[in-house]
Structure 1
Amino acid sequence: MEISRRHTSAQVMKDLDDCGFHDIEKHTLWEVRQIHISKEKLLADIRARLGRSILHALEDDELEKLTLYINDCITEERDIVEMDRWTIWRAVKR
């Protein structure tokens, strides 16, 4: 679902070039969305569908399966840093 919502980087760069831009650069930035002090806090946040539009597309049973999967994947109790990735393209108009 996420893939269908976004253009590939190659497509964005091609479109910029087609529109007369040059010196096209791609930059990736990571933003801390939230630091969860425990796995339980993260799972509660996911179950509440907070801050993540993709979670609203899931049925309740799908969300619970995802939550159980994440619960199984996180084995250590420590701060969990949740990050969002942003892509910025910079270009110069010809």
Structure 2
Amino acid sequence: MELIGTKWKPLILFHLLEGPQRSGILQAKIPAISNKMFTQSLRELERDHLVYREVFPEVPPRVEYGLTKKGFTLKEILISLDTWGKTIHDG
């Protein structure tokens, strides 16, 4: 829980289950998150080796984030939380 026990980290990780994504696209999937919290959460997830950051040497530079092997081990937990949330919301 220490690694993912915030409001935003599970959401970021859940959306990264779809595959690597550019930060702007990823942030658009979580409209309520502020730029500051989005950046901070990604940095912490990267520091904890749950997410990797890949910079492509292009002009303009392109940055993508994806799940590491360690991050991918959370897949079943994240899917279960999503299913539970939908059940509670619809119930």
Same fold (TM over 0.5): no
Larger Rg: 1
Structure with more strand by fraction: 1
What's the TM-score once normalised by structure 1's chain length? 0.33
Structure with more helix by fraction: 2
What's the TM-score once normalised by structure 2's chain length? 0.34
Higher relative contact order (CA 8 A, sep 6+): 1
